[in-house]
Structure 1
């Protein structure tokens, strides 16, 4: 009876699976319901549940003793928060791991037993992937901007402290506290199991309610953070950094492998002397603390929220459901003109499966038809308002879709040099560039020129020949005659290549298939705004396989 009452308090109401909705069970390592509020994993599960429900899923949270019960087994997808406890995936479900801590406890065999594994460390995800495990992707920890917000001026006065540390000791001194003590500075510590480790004068309490944490984080002059050794070495960034930045806190933390852009917005240290120096400096320079904390808050809210992670889970789930339900569908009907008559491609070419790819009526090849399958998923009323520039004429899109459709054919009609586009900034809503950039000497310059002439909410749709078959780009530095005059043969590393050319650019990488020949390849969408990225994602998820997207 007592346990049932606790469940009703924490859950309010068990989700009733809606007809047609996919259902997700989140399995947390919480051992008892009455202790759930003391587990960070539980609060993470609650926040993820809320955002997944906004994505249209029915969601249930389970604690450790419930992992294998009948109720959880009826759900379509299992998301396991992998920390201390191992779960055995059930074959009738789609199984996803989010490895948020304790990487030393997870074997390669366990990783491979899941359909998909998200790792809360870009450094460790690459290490695991390099061992030949293919189902790995990075998913960093995150925050909730409603729960972790900037405290009011009244709260800042009430909860202000000079140095604040919130965290349990596990019976041993935490790194940043060991590096700091002894100190004459005003240090306040909240957490359990500290009484035998540090002087009583530093201890303020054992627990702060999760809903109140932002007041303490954002009101401290300096919020202290550190990582357990295995987390630091393997690049697992503490969720306190995301929550603290969302609360507009200035954070000093030990250094972690591959912190990426986050390191711009916090102050890291590696030695005791460095710690003392940076604390002394920033206490004396409040204006610099404020600048970092304000920029950090903006960065986290734009890139690292539970809404962002729910979207990442949703893309993964819809891809797997799409593949699971997809029959091998082949047709002899062109999706551009409806013709059923085909002939060999240029120079008598057949596909690897022996199919004739060239449509006799519209002239389309497999690459045109697979591009068309993606465009057809974008709402017509959205496209009808767009001013479009297309480099080279091909049948993958229809001029009638757009408000304006300008076509440039190099050294022929309306010739435009991609490396120096003679148009004003923000001239177009959409640029289409299929099988072009491999012919351009300076492709990075061309890429930046395209982004320059796009509006802030515009996008580039781009393809290159068969990057799906190659990992590493081969660049000859000259137009190779026996390779159709191409300067290079792109591999899938083109994503990093162009992302480095224009930092902060967003991407959706679709994997599309031509139903006539069965040929697959990538269709790339690049954009400058997250708003456009999310709109396109919402319309493509579950209809086209999303291979990857950049936040």
Structure 2
């Protein structure tokens, strides 16, 4: 089959910095290996006259209006869920949601097939490269978008050896903690394989709708412990493998657990890594996509 992936990433110098770009890139790699033909239309070229068997829309920042032709139209919604209306969902043949919780809600509200389709990692790019290396330091990778992110501020208040990669941080923290505004995707595996802990928090809408960011899967695949704000969706996947906080007091307990029981934390993370390799990879997602399309053709 021929697939066209509608990727919201720009085509200029910013492209490699967009997470959507890498999601599309990884899906293309594994769909191609499975014998599919794949092309990508980036945001500026979404509406053209190309023909395909399947159109897969990566629904992050921008909506796409499907062309009612012979293509099977699939939406994978993994970001900005508050912006997607029921009318937009109904324009698709298959709807994929990066949240088990929210997909169960939409199944009751929509007349189209809805499936949970969580974000994941590329196990060929994210893995533990340094199993014998002592891990050091706390890290945070992410932009501020003009909003204070409590876990970073608390880490500094507790005088943790923190290093930050992301835009906008100079407004909130001393520049000595900021390594750079951006770290290339291909360099993350080295960072995640050497760091002691990564801090994580979700945007409020992601928490509300039960969407898990892909950085959690990338980090765990590299054997890196994660301290994250509490997400019921994430907790249901990894109740013991991740350290959770709801407030500053609980964040401090997470830090204490790292300092006092790090070997035990690592042991749990290693179990999570095995689960991710078996269930939460782009290879698995590509296989599932092909199966969903085959089933759709049989039933329609």
TM-score by length of 1: 0.52
Superposed displacement of residue 214, structure 1: 1.4
Find the counterpart in structure 2 of residue 244 from structure 1: 219
Find the counterpart in structure 1 of residue 117 from structure 2: 139
Find the counterpart in structure 1 of residue 80 from structure 2: 102
1-structure distance, mates of 2:113, 2:205:
22
Find the counterpart in structure 1 of residue 103 from structure 2: 125
Find the counterpart in structure 1 of residue 254 from structure 2: 278
Find the counterpart in structure 2 of residue 315 from structure 1: 291
- 1:38 maps onto 2:44 in alignment: no
Q: Report the 3-state secondary structure (helix = DSSP H, G, I; strand = E; otherwise coil) of the residue aligned with 1:263.
A: coil
2-structure distance, mates of 1:204, 1:161:
15
Deviation digits for residues 65-108 of structure 1, max 9, x if unmatched? Answer: 011123xx312211111011000011111100000010000001
| Residue of structure 2 aligned with 1:76, choices 53, 57, 68 | 53
- 1:230 maps onto 2:205 in alignment: yes
Matches within 5 A, 1:77-476: 77-92=54-69, 93-152=71-130, 156=133, 160-259=135-234, 260-324=236-300
2-structure distance, mates of 1:251, 1:238:
12
User: 4+ runs of 1 displaced by more than 4 Å?
Assistant: none
TM-score by length of 2: 0.95
- Asked if structure 1 preserves the Cα contact closer than 8 Å seen for 2:156 and 2:162, the reply is no
RMSD: 1.6
1-structure distance, mates of 2:177, 2:40:
37
- Asked if structure 2 preserves the Cα contact closer than 8 Å seen for 1:180 and 1:272, the reply is no
1-structure distance, mates of 2:63, 2:25:
21
- 1:51 maps onto 2:30 in alignment: yes
Q: Report the 3-state secondary structure (helix = DSSP H, G, I; strand = E; otherwise coil) of the residue aligned with 2:56.
A: strand
Residue 234 to residue 179, structure 1, CA distance change in 2 (3 Å): farther
Superposed displacement of residue 298, structure 1: 0.6
Superposed displacement of residue 162, structure 1: 2.0
Structure 2 unmatched runs, 5+: none
2-structure distance, mates of 1:68, 1:215:
38
Superposed displacement of residue 122, structure 1: 0.5
Superposed displacement of residue 32, structure 1: 2.4
Superposed displacement of residue 161, structure 1: 3.6
Superposed displacement of residue 181, structure 1: 4.2
Aligned residue pairs total: 298
Superposed displacement of residue 178, structure 1: 3.9
Superposed displacement of residue 196, structure 1: 1.1
Deviation digits for residues 384-432 of structure 1, max 9, x if unmatched? Answer: xxxxxxxxxxxxxxxxxxxxxxxxxxxxxxxxxxxxxxxxxxxxxxxxx
1-structure distance, mates of 2:46, 2:149:
32
Superposed displacement of residue 37, structure 1: 0.6
- Rg comparison, structure with higher value: 1
Higher RCO (C-alpha under 8 Å, 6+ residues apart): 2
- Asked if structure 1 preserves the Cα contact closer than 8 Å seen for 2:197 and 2:225, the reply is yes
1-structure distance, mates of 2:244, 2:41:
36
Superposed displacement of residue 50, structure 1: 0.8
2-structure distance, mates of 1:124, 1:201:
40
Superposed displacement of residue 179, structure 1: 4.4
Residue 317 to residue 132, structure 1, CA distance change in 2 (3 Å): closer
